[in-house]
């Protein structure tokens, strides 16, 4: 009869051998789900869209109640965000952090609930254009939220992260020379020590498109994954795409702090399909498909061979027609789906579906559009266009946009229609002092699509939840002892 110690020894050896034979875990592909939209789909429709496309990971920018409820029971892993504007109160008030966790994590998690894996404290809080506004608030907020998770017995499952923009680190010329910006060295060191001790990854947002957009000398083919004539040689390593070069700059920067093996998650990466030169359907498809192939190959990067990022969240799921255009008109066109959940191009996410599947049961407004009346004198139309486009989304009309070449009357009609759909096709919103008219013939021209809005039957409940969110913010401010609200 075999001795127990022999049996357990054999079992231990079997487990070791099996683990050596087991395939390496692949990176997970997720998406960012932003909701700054003029025509917002019902959250349940979006969750169905995620499930239909077998997307198992989603990153949110805040904990909107209707979104969180829709994700309950879906099996989708969630990263929920805390906006930068809340860092001040959360950094100085443990009770505010307790309340936030109770309201936005504890109340949704558990059996049949939302599978919340991460809480993102802030969003790119070290961005250089913020001029240090949030810099000293990050770690106090992180520590307070962590203590709140501990009190709620969730700290072992829900991990805290801080999504950073790639401008948090820099290099003189080569990836191996990467280092964090000098003014951030101390705070980033504290952050990575915390992340390491709690088993959290370093989350970074990388945008090769912005490198190309901001720099006229940036080689275009280096932004993609199709090979380049502008490779970068760094010692024995050769870089053929901007993503690998940027990623390894971060690896080098982490190594200088003593954390060269820290797991990394790509919080945002993608390519816009409209609103600027270089932002188009073809480029977006080529970039995103190349990215997915590159990640799924498990080749990693020169400084981390065979070790790709833990997860990669594509930016983004849907177009957001109400986002700020300060960075550029392309900001409203990052979605792999249009605002109504319709796929913009063929894309294989690597989950078995060879192409994206469209959202189902979308509730559209009637098929009618507002256009310029061809019999009207349009001499004084400029102010009406300005009014329409100050409220509605006209970014595709600008230089580089898909509607940039439809002519003056086409521009007027596009602006009128964008405003008309935003106003839920209220007949008065197509008047424009008698210059507009409603048509039942689709005025779309070539690649320039005149949209028809969607209707949200749950708009009343959504408004109610927005009000609840507002009261919650006011309560946080009260706890903080302040009575001002920065907008």
Q: What is the pLDDT of residues 364-416, one digit of tens each?
A: 999 999 999 999 999 989 999 999 999 999 999 999 999 999 999 999 999 99
User: Is pLDDT of 54 > 60?
Assistant: yes
Catalytic residue among 64, 268, 320, 331: 268
Contact (CB, 8 A) for 81 and 123: yes
Which residues, in sequence order, are CB contacts of 22 under 8 Å at separation 6+? Answer: none
Contact (CB, 8 A) for 118 and 79: yes
Catalytic residue among 21, 26, 52, 124: 124
Residue 277 confidence (pLDDT) = 94
- % of the chain at pLDDT higher than 70: 88
User: Is pLDDT of 460 > 70?
Assistant: no
User: Is pLDDT of 7 > 80?
Assistant: no
Q: What is the pLDDT of residues 167-215, one digit of tens each?
A: 999 998 899 999 999 999 999 999 999 999 999 999 999 999 999 999 9
Active-site residue flag, 170: no
Q: Single out the residue of 144, 71, 56 nearest to residue 107, CA to CA.
A: 71
Q: What is the pLDDT of residues 266-279, one digit of tens each?
A: 999 999 999 999 99
Q: Report the pLDDT averaged over residues 294-307.
A: 96
Residue 30 confidence (pLDDT) = 98
Residue 399 confidence (pLDDT) = 93
Active-site residue flag, 268: yes
Residue 26 confidence (pLDDT) = 52
3-state SS assignment for residue 193: helix
Rounded-to-integer distance, Cα 268 and Cα 49, Å: 20
Q: How many CB atoms lie within 10 A of CB 73?
A: 13
Residue 465 confidence (pLDDT) = 45
User: Is pLDDT of 18 > 50?
Assistant: no
Cis geometry, peptide bond prior to residue 316 (ω within 30 degrees of 0): yes
Residue 360 confidence (pLDDT) = 96
User: Residue 252: how many CA atoms within 13 Å on its side-chain side?
Assistant: 23
Contact (CB, 8 A) for 349 and 54: yes
User: Is pLDDT of 1 > 90?
Assistant: no
Q: Single out the residue of 101, 50, 40 nearest to residue 73, CA to CA.
A: 50
The reply to whether CATH 2.40.40.20 applies to domain 24-332 is no
| Res. 480 pLDDT band, cuts 50 70 90 | low
| Res. 27 pLDDT band, cuts 50 70 90 | confident
- % of the chain at pLDDT higher than 90: 86
Residue 9 confidence (pLDDT) = 44
Q: Single out the residue of 201, 187, 203, 193 nearest to residue 91, CA to CA.
A: 187
User: Is pLDDT of 458 > 90?
Assistant: no
- The CATH 3.20.20.80 domain(s) of the chain lie at 24-332
Average model confidence (pLDDT) for the chain? 90
Torsion-angle region of 328 (φ positive above 0: left; ψ -120 to 50: alpha; else: beta): left
Rounded-to-integer distance, Cα 448 and Cα 441, Å: 15
Residue ranges of the alpha helices (H) in 42-93?
Answer: 43-52, 65-71, 87-92
Q: What is the pTM of this model?
A: 0.89
Residue 456 confidence (pLDDT) = 74
User: Is pLDDT of 12 > 50?
Assistant: no
Q: What is the pLDDT of residues 131-180, one digit of tens each?
A: 999 999 999 999 999 999 999 999 999 999 999 999 999 998 899 999 99
Q: Report the pLDDT averaged over residues 294-317.
A: 97
Q: Where are the beta strands (DSSP E) in 414-465?
A: 436-439
Residue 21 confidence (pLDDT) = 37
Rounded to whole angstroms, what are the CA distances from 425 to 35, 74, 431? 21, 34, 11
Contact (CB, 8 A) for 443 and 436: no
Q: Single out the residue of 37, 35, 91 nearest to residue 59, CA to CA.
A: 35
* Size of the chain, expressed as the number of residues it contains: 487
User: Is pLDDT of 468 > 50?
Assistant: no
User: Is pLDDT of 461 > 90?
Assistant: no
CB burial string 208-245: b at 16+ within 10 A, e below:
bbbbbbeeeeeeeebbbbeebeeebebeebebbbbbbb
In sequence order, the β-bridge partners of residue 311 are 28
Q: Report the pLDDT averaged over residues 321-341.
A: 96
473-482: Cβ within 8 A, 24+ apart: 473/86, 475/99, 476/86, 476/89, 476/90, 476/93, 476/96, 476/99, 476/100, 477/89, 479/89, 479/93, 479/95, 479/96, 479/99, 480/88, 480/89, 480/92, 480/93, 480/96, 482/88, 482/89
Q: Report the pLDDT averaged over residues 340-360.
A: 96
In sequence order, the β-bridge partners of residue 369 are 439
Residue 168: DSSP 8-state: G
């Amino acid at each position: 009869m075999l001795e127990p110690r022999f049996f357990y020894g054999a079992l231990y050896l079997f487990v070791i051998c099996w683990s050596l034979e087991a395939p390496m875990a692949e990176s997970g592909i997720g998406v960012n789900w932003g909701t700054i939209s003029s025509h917002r789909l019902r959250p349940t429709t979006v969750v169905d869209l995620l499930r239909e496309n077998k997307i198992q990971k989603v990153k949110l920018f805040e904990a909107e109640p209707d979104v969180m409820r829709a994700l309950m029971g879906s099996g989708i892993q969630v990263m929920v965000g805390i906006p930068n504007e809340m860092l001040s109160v959360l950094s100085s008030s443990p009770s505010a952090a307790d309340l936030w966790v109770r309201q936005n994590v504890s109340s949704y998690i558990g059996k049949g609930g939302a599978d919340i894996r991460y809480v993102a404290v802030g969003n790119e809080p070290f961005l250089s254009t913020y001029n240090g506004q949030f810099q000293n608030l990050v770690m106090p907020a992180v520590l307070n939220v962590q203590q709140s998770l501990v009190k709620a017995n969730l700290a072992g499952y829900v991990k805290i992260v801080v999504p950073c923009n790639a401008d948090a680190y820099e290099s003189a010329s080569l990836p191996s020379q990467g280092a964090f910006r000098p003014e951030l060295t101390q705070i980033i060191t504290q952050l990575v020590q915390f992340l390491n001790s709690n088993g959290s990854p370093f989350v970074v947002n990388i945008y090769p498109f912005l490198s190309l957009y901001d720099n006229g000398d940036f080689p275009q083919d280096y932004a993609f994954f199709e090979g380049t004539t502008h490779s970068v040689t760094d010692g024995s390593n050769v870089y053929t795409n901007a993503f690998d070069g940027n990623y390894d700059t971060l690896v080098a920067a982490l190594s200088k702090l003593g954390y060269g093996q820290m797991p990394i998650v790509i919080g945002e990466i993608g390519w816009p399909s409209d609103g600027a030169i270089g932002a188009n359907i073809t480029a977006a498809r080529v970039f995103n498909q190349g990215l997915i192939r590159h990640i799924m190959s498990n080749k990693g990067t020169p400084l981390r061979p065979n070790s790709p990022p833990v997860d990669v969240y594509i930016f983004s799921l849907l177009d957001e027609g109400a986002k700020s255009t300060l960075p550029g008109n392309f900001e409203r066109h990052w979605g792999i789906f249009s605002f109504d959940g319709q796929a913009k191009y063929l894309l294989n996410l690597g989950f078995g579906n060879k192409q994206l599947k469209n959202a189902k049961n979308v509730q559209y407004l009637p098929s009618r559009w507002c256009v310029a009346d061809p019999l009207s004198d349009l001499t004084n139309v400029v102010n009406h266009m300005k009014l329409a486009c100050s409220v509605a989304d006209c970014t595709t009309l600008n230089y580089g946009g898909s509607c940039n070449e439809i002519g003056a009357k086409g521009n007027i009609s596009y602006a009128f229609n964008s405003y008309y759909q935003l106003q839920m096709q209220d007949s008065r919103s197509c008047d424009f002092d008698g210059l507009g008219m409603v048509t039942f013939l689709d005025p779309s021209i070539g690649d320039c699509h005149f949209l028809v809005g969607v209707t949200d039957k749950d708009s009343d409940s959504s408004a109610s939840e927005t009000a609840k969110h507002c009261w919650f913010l006011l309560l946080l401010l009260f706890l903080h002892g302040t009575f001002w609200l920065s907008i």
